[in-house]
Each structure stands twice: as C-alpha cells, then as structure tokens.
C-alpha cells in the first residue's frame, strides 16, 4: 500500500538527516555539508557526504545516495515501508495500521507473532497464571523492568491457550501454524500450542519485529527438552538473527564493540548489569550472515564463551568468520565452571567490567594459550602447525595494514622472525582460502546503483542546472539538446521527465526527484548530480566562472556544457567510424561513405565549437 506523500513529507520535516545519519556515521562539518567514512564500503579517506539543506546523502566512492528513507533502507537492510515505520517512530508520527502494514506479504506472520508476544507477556504478569514463571525469574535475579525490556513471557500450562485467544481475536490459525506458534492435531483436527508451560523469550529482528521464540522448561520433565525454539519460517532463520541485537544496537554503535555470548540468559544478565552491547546466537553456531549483520554496527568483536571445550571450539570457529568480514576479534576466557550469567550474579557488574578489560586477549594470544593447554606446543610440528593456522587467519583480514600489524604481533607471540611469517602470508594469500570464510562484502544488503560511472561531467552539470534553475533552464537546455544526447537509462529518463513537466506547465522542483517520488533510479541520479562537487574545468576557470556559484552565470555555463557534451558525442561517433575505416580497406564503396560521414561530422564539430547553433533568444 502506498504511503501518502504528505505523511512522508511530515516525517522528513520532523527529522534532521544529519542527526539520523550521525547515529550511524561520525560526521564532521566542512562548509555547508557534513563528511564521514562511508558505512557501505571500506575506505580510509572520507568520501561520504550529507547535505542538510537538500536532505540527501551521497558517497563519492561507492555511489550510494538518496534521502533519509534510502539511508535507513540501506543501513538497516529493510524495505521502504519498514524504513518509514522506523523513522515515523523516531519522529513521533503515528502511522495508520493500513499504512504500517505496507506491501509486505509477510505482515500476517508478523501480526501473529506480535499477538503471541503480547499474550505471553500478559500471562507472565497475570497474578495467578504467571506466578511460577515470575518466581523463576526472581530466583535468577531478573528484575521486572528487565523482563519487560526483553518482552519475556509465559506460555500457559494448557494445550490450546494461545490458539483459543487467537481465534477469539479474529486470527486464522493457519497463519499461526505458518509462524511456528501452533501445530495441527492429527486425529481430531484443529490446532494446539507449540509452547506450553514455558518461560518465553521472544526473538526480535534488528529492527524490532518479533520473528520467533525460545521456550524454557519451568519444571523438570525428562520427556521434554530444556529449550525448544521456533522452527524456520519465512520471517525467521536462526542463522540470520542475533538475540538481543535490537536492544543492544545503540550501545554497540556507541562503543564500536559487540560482546558475543552463547545464551539468552547471558544476554539478559549482562544487559541488566549495564553491559548492554551484548548479543547471542539463537541456538546455533555463529554464521556468516550473523557476522555481516554485526558488521553494520560494530568495529570489533569480543567473544565471551563458556570456559569449557565446547566454548573454546565455538570461539575458534567464530574468529575466522569475523576476521574475513574485517572485524578484529578479542576473546575473554571466564574462570572454570563459570558462564557470563553466573559470573555477573556472583560478582558485581564492576567486577565483570574489570575482568573483561584485564583478561581480554587478541585472537593470536588466545590461540597460542589454547594450543599450550592442549599440548600442541610440545613438538616442533605442533608449533609449525599453530604458526600456519594463525597466519592463515591473518590472511583472511581484508585490511593490509592490519595484516602487517597482526603479523608483528604473531612474531612476538610465536617468537618467529617476521620475515618468515610474511613469506608464509604471501604464499597463503596467493592460494584460495577455505570456503568456510568467504571474502568480506559490503554490509549493505544490496549494492546501491551507481549512475555516476556512466554520466559525463557536462551531462551531470546540465541535469543539475535544470533541476536547480527551473523552467527557463529546462527550456534553454532541451531547446538545444535532443533527449537522445543524454546517456540512455535513468539520465535520459530524468531529462524526459523534466521535459514532460515543462510542457505540462508544471513547476520544476528537484525535491520530488530527491525524495524518490519518481522511482529509486531517478532518485539516485538526481542525488548524484545535485551532490556532485563539480570541479571547474580549465576552460571555465579561464572564463572566470566558478561552477559552484552558478546563479549569475547559469546560462553561460549551460551553453559551455552543451557544447562540450555535443563534442564528446560527435568525437565518439568519429572514433567509431575511424575504427570501421581501418576494417573496411577492401570495401571501396563503404570507404567512400565513411569519408563523407567524417567530413560532415568535422564540419558539424566546427560549427558546434563556434556555438553557431545557439539561439540567443533563449539566453535570458
């Protein structure tokens, strides 16, 4: 369903794009714009710019650009409707349910899961039904405010409590079945609840939608597993979700670090202790998709796994996945028999903070200590194998400067000459890495379009002048240019749309294009041309025309750009004919045609150079 333009305009007017982007990217003001390192690709020199006056952003490195909605879409990996919902919540502007639902066919599943989460929370807070669950939470030190923050709940000790409540509220149980909340009865028909007499942990997506649940037994039952989880559904894939990320994302961005633990209760205990940049996998080993999700928020990872062989192996698997995505990794090993939940309850939060800082190891030191405990360093072959494994891990890191730093660190820890490790790194870098660690890709969910790669500088300038100067400039430019002279695709479509507006007597305004009212492709090219820095050419410098200050000399600059663009198009055709001329040496008839065409083009080129085609009546 289309969200009304006035609703979008109200949200834009209520938000400062610099503040929205600044929550994700550190920005510094330079002139009228703000600059920072692009969050969509790796770079060392800031090429990411935000223009608060136009309400748009643009990266001159990777080509990403658009308005505030486009930024949230790309940085959070969500649909346009979901980006609107997130920004509407930030702005305090309510969206009608029909608009909020949008066009996502998964919305009925989200509605079912949201209903279930509210139902379970209501049951937890019910004086009678939730008494045992509340007592359990109290015994684990979970405060009511913490339970509410994570949406904890209770699934009643009944076969169809949720199913009955859902039907009474007008839901179809087939949707609840698809969401993994109920199961079909084989004999009698109908449905029964998947989760019964369990403490419920709702699992949120990184944008705050309930996508699944984990349920923990409240009383021992040898015939039941301690935990059961939602099955894979169209909205829930375990390997793509991190428990606690929705609650932790702001703290992770602020600290530029994410702590990764193993269990739901570990996350809750650490958040309650004030260590809010903590997340956990949803009952699976860390996956590549989860690391890519973390890379949108964190610049480094701290692994805090249980001090047992399983935790050590989980840490080893996680290290290479993080390194391959450009995330430095540190490891903290807790005392034997402890997990994060037990440690924080037996000690203070300050003690855990101090422990995390004092005993954090870089991944090289961690692997070295683990190898020593396992007896791997007792033989020369074991030492050589460890060195090879550590250098292989370093080779996965995409930043060459950090690779060198890690190699120096490995040389210190392993007591091996740097030159030997560099030689090994060169050998490993020239061979393919194991498939379990693919190379890093940008954290944005899809690569943004990059129209700037096909746009000529003069063409960019003409489109910008028309968008900025209005109807008289559209008349001047398109009175001297054919649409076919603009690059095929979005640039030509933008020029055609401007011509349509002019002929219909409509005002020319860049904002609808920048806001995406004419589609994402035209939004991208409009953003591209409006944010382009436009370095003055030598010809413009000699004329004393400063391109960024175009109001006084707009038509003179446009005329110069038209000439340049026409000459470039003619030169392209001349070059193609000259290439064909070389291939047609034995075809005299075709050679004569080519020569005649070249003569005509050269005459036309001379006329264009002297500006004889310009209509002085349009210069105003």
pLDDT at position 546: 39
What kind and span of H or E run contains 98? helix 97-101
Looking at residue 32, its pLDDT comes to: 85
Q: What SS3 class is residue 547?
A: coil
| Model confidence, pTM | 0.66
Contact between 56 and 530 under an 8 Å Cβ cutoff? The reply is yes
pLDDT for residue 103: 46
Q: Give the angle 525-528-531 at the CA atoms, nearest 5°.
A: 145
Domain pair 241-446 / 451-618, same fold? no
Q: Are 525 and 450 in contact (CB under 8 A)?
A: no
Neighbours of 4 (CB within 10 A): 11
Q: Which residues fall within 8 angstroms of residue 561, CB to CB, at 6 or more apart?
A: 458, 459, 461, 462, 465
Q: Would you tell me how many other CB atoms lie within 10 Å of the CB of residue 321? A: 24
d(CA 249, CA 252) in angstroms, rounded, equals: 5
| Closest by Cα among 204, 206, 251, 203 to 75 | 206
* pLDDT for 452: 44
Residues 464, 492 contacting (CB under 8 angstroms): no
Between vectors from CA 403 to CA 398 and to CA 405, what angle results, nearest 5°?
A: 145
For 254, the 3-state DSSP assignment is helix
- CA–CA distance from 402 to each of 352, 397, 407, 408 (Å)? 29, 8, 8, 10
Query: CA gyration radius for the chain?
Result: 31
What is the CATH architecture of 5-101?
Alpha-Beta Complex (3.90)
In this predicted structure, what is the pLDDT of residue 297? 87
| DSSP class of 487 | P
Are 65 and 41 in contact, with CB atoms under 8 Å apart?
no
C-alpha separations of 498 from 5, 24, 100, 467, 563 in Å: 20, 34, 32, 8, 20
pLDDT < 70 positions in the chain: 1-2, 96-104, 429-454, 532-552, 615-620
DSSP per-residue codes, 549-568: --STTHHHHHHHHHHHHHHH
Which residues lie across from 35 on neighbouring strands? 28, 49
CA-nearest of 49, 22, 54, 53 to 38 is 49
| CATH code for the domain defined by 241-446 | 3.40.1360.10
Looking at residue 501, its pLDDT comes to 86
Q: Tell which residue, 205, 215, 195, 203, has the closest CA to residue 150.
A: 203
Token pair recorded at residue 237: 């894939």
In this prediction, residue 276 carries a pLDDT of 95
Give the separation between CA 544 and CA 414, rounded to whole angstroms.
Answer: 63
3 state SS of 280:
strand
Q: How far is CA 179 from CA 173, 385, 585, in A?
A: 10, 47, 71
Q: How many Cβ atoms sit within 10 Å of the Cβ of residue 109?
A: 23
Task: List the Cα angle 132/143/263 in 5-degree steps.
Answer: 80
Q: Is the dihedral of CA 170, 174, 177, 182 positive or negative?
A: positive
Which residues, listed in sequence order, are joined to residue 203 by a DSSP beta bridge?
212
Helix (H) or strand (E) holding 365: helix 363-373
Q: What is the pLDDT of residues 577-604, one digit of tens each?
A: 888 888 887 888 888 888 888 888 888 8
Q: Where are the domains of the chain?
A: 5-101, 107-236, 241-446, 451-618
Homologous superfamily (CATH) of 107-236 is DNA primase, catalytic core, N-terminal domain (3.90.980.10)
- Dihedral sign, CA of 139, 143, 146, 151? positive
Closest among 530, 526, 531 to 490, alpha carbons compared: 526
Pick the CATH number of 451-618 from 1.10.860, 2.60.60, 1.10.3470, 1.20.1300: 1.10.860
């Amino acid at each position: 369903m289309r969200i009304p333009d006035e609703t979008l305009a109200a949200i834009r007017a209520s938000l400062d794009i610099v503040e929205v982007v600044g929550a994700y990217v550190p920005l510094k003001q330079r002139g009228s714009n703000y600059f920072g390192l692009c969050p969509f690709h790796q770079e060392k020199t800031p090429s990411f710019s935000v223009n608060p006056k136009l309400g748009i952003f643009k990266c001159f490195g990777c080509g990403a650009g658009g308005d505030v909605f486009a930024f949230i879409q790309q940085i959070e990996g969500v649909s346009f409707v979901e980006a609107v919902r997130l920004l509407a919540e930030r702005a305090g502007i309510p969206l009608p349910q029909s608009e909020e639902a949008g066009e996502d066919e998964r919305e009925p599943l989200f509605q079912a899961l949201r209903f279930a989460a509210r139902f379970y929370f209501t049951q937890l807070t019910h004086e009678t039904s939730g008494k045992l669950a509340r007592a359990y939470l109290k015994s684990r030190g979970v405060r009511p405010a913490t339970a509410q923050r994570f949406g904890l709940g209770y699934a009643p000790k009944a076969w169809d409590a949720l199913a009955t409540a859902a039907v009474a509220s007008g839901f179809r149980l087939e949707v609840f079945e698809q969401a993994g909340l109920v199961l079909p009865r084989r004999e009698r028909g109908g449905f029964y609840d998947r989760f019964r007499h369990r403490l419920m942990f709702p699992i949120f997506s990184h944008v705050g939608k309930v996508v699944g649940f984990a349920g923990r037994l409240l009383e021992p039952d040898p015939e039941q597993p301690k935990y059961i989880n939602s099955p894979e559904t169209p909205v829930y894939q375990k390997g793509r979700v991190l428990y606690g990320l929705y609650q932790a994302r702001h703290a992770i961005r602020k600290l530029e670090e994410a702590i990764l633990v193993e269990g739901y209760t570990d996350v809750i205990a650490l958040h309650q202790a004030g260590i809010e940049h903590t997340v956990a996998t949803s009952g699976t080993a860390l996956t590549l998709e989860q690391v890519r999700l973390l890379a949108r928020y964190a610049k480094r990872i701290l692994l805090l796994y249980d001090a047992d062989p399983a935790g050590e192996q989980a840490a080893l698997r996680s290290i290479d996945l993080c390194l391959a995505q450009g995330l430095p990794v540190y490891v903290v090993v807790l005392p034997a028999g402890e997990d994060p939940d037990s440690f924080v309850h037996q000690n203070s939060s300050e003690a855990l903070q101090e422990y995390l800082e004092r005993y954090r190891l870089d991944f090289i030191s961690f692997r070295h200590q683990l190898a020593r405990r396992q007896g791997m360093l007792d033989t020369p072959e074991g030492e050589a194998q460890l060195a090879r494994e550590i250098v292989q891990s370093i080779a996965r890191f995409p930043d060459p400067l950090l690779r060198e730093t890690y190699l120096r660190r490995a040389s210190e820890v392993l007591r091996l000459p740097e030159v030997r490790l560099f030689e090994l790194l060169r050998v490993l870098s020239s061979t393919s890495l194991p498939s379990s660690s693919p190379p890093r890709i940008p954290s944005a969910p899809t690569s943004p379009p990059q129209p700037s790669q096909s746009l000529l500088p003069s063409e960019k300038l003409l489109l910008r002048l028309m968008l900025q100067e209005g109807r008289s400039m559209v008349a001047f430019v398109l009175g001297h240019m054919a649409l076919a002279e603009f690059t095929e695709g979005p640039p030509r479509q933008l020029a055609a749309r401007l011509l349509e507006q002019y002929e219909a007597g409509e005002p020319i305004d860049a904002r609808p294009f920048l806001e995406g009212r004419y589609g994402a492709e035209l939004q991208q090219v409009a953003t591209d041309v409006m944010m382009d820095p436009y370095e003055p050419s030598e010809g413009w410098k000699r004329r004393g025309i400063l391109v960024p200050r175009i109001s006084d000399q707009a038509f003179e600059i446009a005329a110069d750009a038209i000439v340049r663009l026409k000459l470039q198009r003619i030169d392209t055709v001349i070059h193609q004919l000259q290439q064909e001329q070389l291939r047609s040496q034995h075809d005299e008839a075709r050679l004569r045609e080519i020569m005649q065409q070249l003569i005509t083009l050269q005459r036309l080129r001379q006329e264009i150079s002297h500006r004889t085609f310009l209509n002085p009546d349009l210069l105003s």
